[in-house]
Amino acid sequence: MSLPTFYLLSTMNASLSTPVRRRQALMLCAATAGSLLAPAVLAQAPSAGYPDRPIRIVVPFAPGAGTDAMARLVAQKLGEVMGATFVVENRAGASGAIGTQHVAQSPADGYTLLLVASPFTTVAASVPGANYDPLRQFAPVGMIASGPLVWAANTSLAANSMKELVTLARKNPGKLNYGSAGAGGVNHLVLELLKAKTGTFITHIPYRGVAPATMDMIGGQIQLVTGTIPALLPFIKNGSIKPLAVTSAKRSSALPDVPSMAEAGLPGIDVVNYFALMAPAGTPAAILNSLNAALNKVVALPDVLARFKTDAVEAAPGSPALLGHFIEADYRAWRNVVKSQNLKIE
C-alpha cells in the first residue's frame, strides 16, 4: 500500500538532506499523487472557448534575465500549440516578490500566469518580507526545465575539488569569501546548505547578480561563487575561473568533465534551478490541465530541446500534481536550511 503524500513530504523534510534528495522523493510522491488526484482532474473539460483572449505570462524579473528569456520562448511556443496569444509582462522588484504578489492577487481565470524559477521558493522560504505563500496562493501548471548550478573558484585558490575546498574552509574558518546573486536566492542558500552539511564557515557576500560577483572572483576580491552554467561557462572555457563541481547529483552534459556533488565527495546534495508555470490559487483544474497538456507538448519540441541544451537545462515534463509536490518539497526543505542556519534576511 502506498504511503500517504503528507507522510512522504514530512519524511522528506525531516533532515538537512531533504533539498538534495527531492527529485528521488518526488518520484514516490508522483506515484501516490497520480493515483489520488489525476482521475478527478482529468474528468473535467476546459471551459468552453478558453482561451478567448490573450494570456499574460508575468515574469517577476527584468527583461533580459534568464527567466525572461525562458518566458518568451514558452509564450511563443504555447501560442503556436494552443492557437492563442501569450504576452510576456515584466514586473521586477524585491527579488521577484513584486511580480509574484501581483499574480497571487490576479483573477483565477487562466489568463494570468507566473513564470517561476528557484527564487519563487528560496525567497519565500528565507525572506519574511516576501509577502506571498508559494503553497497556498498558487496553483501549479507544469514544470518546464531544470538544471544545476556550478561551483566555481578563483584560479589561485588552493583547492581544486570540493573535498579540498571543505578541508581548506575548515582550516580557515571565515577567511574564504563567497559571492552570491543576493541574500535569499538559490546561490546564497546552496552555500548555507554546504556549510550545514560540512560544518564549515565561509563568509557570504551578497551582490546584485552573479555577474559582478564573478568579476570580483576573477579579480581576487572573493574566492568562490555558484552560478548557472551558461553564466559561468565562458569564463570556465577561457580559464579565468575553475569549476569544482555541479550542484546536482549527476553530471551536466554541458560540463561533462566536472564532477557531480556525489562524485565530489558530498553525496545526497542535489540542487537545481528550475523553470515552471504557476497560476493564481483557485484556477479551475480543467484550465490547468489544458495548459499543462500544451506545455508538455512544447517541452518536447525539437527546437525547444535544442534551446534547452544551449541553456544547460533539461526538459522536465509532468503533471500539475507533480509540480505541486516539487514546489512544496523545495520550499519546506529550504525553510529547514534557513532555520538550521539561523538566517535573518531582511
pLDDT attached to residue 196: 94
- Are the C-beta atoms of 125 and 136 separated by less than 8 Å? no
Q: Give CA–CA dist 292/277, Å, rounded.
A: 9
Q: What are the b/e assignments for 214-228, b being 16+ CB within 10 Å? A: bbbbbeeebbbbbbb
pLDDT, tens digit, 9 for 90 and up, residues 232-270: 999 999 999 999 999 999 999 999 999 999 999 998 889
Q: Is the dihedral of CA 196, 133, 23, 184 positive or negative?
A: negative
Q: Give CA–CA dist 331/140, Å, rounded.
A: 14
H helices within the chain, ranges in order?
5-12, 22-42, 66-82, 97-104, 119-126, 162-171, 186-198, 210-219, 229-237, 285-298, 302-310, 320-340
Q: Which grid cell is 165?
A: 575546498
Residue 192, phi-psi category: left (phi > 0), alpha (psi -120 to 50), beta (remainder): alpha
Counting as low any pLDDT under 50, the low residues of the chain are: 1-46
Q: Which CATH architecture has domain 148-246?
A: 3-Layer(aba) Sandwich (3.40)
- What are the CA-CA distances from residue 69 to residues 4, 176, 275 (Å)? 38, 33, 11
5-147+272-340 and 148-246 agree in CATH topology: yes
pLDDT attached to residue 39: 35
- Are the C-beta atoms of 248 and 260 separated by less than 8 Å? yes
pLDDT attached to residue 47: 56
pLDDT, tens digit, 9 for 90 and up, residues 161-175: 999 999 999 999 999
Domain 5-147+272-340 maps to which CATH number in 3.40.50.970, 3.40.190.150, 3.40.30.10, 2.60.40.1180?
A: 3.40.190.150
CA atoms within 13 A on the CB side of 292: 28
- Are the C-beta atoms of 247 and 151 separated by less than 8 Å? yes
Sketch the domain layout of the chain as residue ranges: 5-147+272-340, 148-246
pLDDT attached to residue 48: 64
Which amino acid is located at 132 in the chain? Y
Q: What are the b/e assignments for 263-282, b being 16+ CB within 10 Å? A: bbebebbbbbbbbbbbbbee
